Amino acid sequence: METKVPKPKKITGCKMIQSEHSGKGKVSFKKAKYIKNYMLMETTAADTKDEKNYYPANPISFDNSKGGLVTPKQKGIITWWRVYGHNASGDGIWSEPFGGFPIY
């Protein structure tokens, strides 16, 4: 019998920094319970609160809270990011927008 896990909670402690690798950012966030994958989304839209403005980042998912390297869709443009947890019960609540600077 399969045990149902709760939906993931809101991810906190999110940050993006310019990587030492050209054209890449480095994302990280705090670990949360019951998460199989952390899903990363990005936007260059002015309205950073509207989830409809976001599209999948590259890569879109990480299997741990250590995050990793991300390549923005458009380099040199102010980009915002949000992350949410995913598991067998569905998607969790999106993080607050973070980043807000261009990746070069």
User: Looking at residues 89-102, what average pLDDT do you find?
Assistant: 96
User: Residue 40 belongs to a domain with what CATH number?
Assistant: 2.60.40.10
Whole-prediction pTM value?
Answer: 0.91
Residue 39 · residue 32 · CB < 8 Å: no
Domain count of the fold of the chain = 1
Task: Name 84's bridge partners.
Answer: 39
Structural domain containing residue 36: 15-96
- Measuring CA to CA, how many Å separate 40 from each of 4, 22, 33, 63, 64? 24, 20, 17, 11, 12
Beta-carbon neighbour count of residue 60 at 10 Å?
A: 14
pLDDT at site 86: 95
* pLDDT tens-digit series, residues 23-78: 999 999 999 889 999 999 999 999 999 999 999 999 999 998 888 999 999 999 99
Written as six digits, the tokens of 102 are 């261009």
In a domain? residue 35: yes
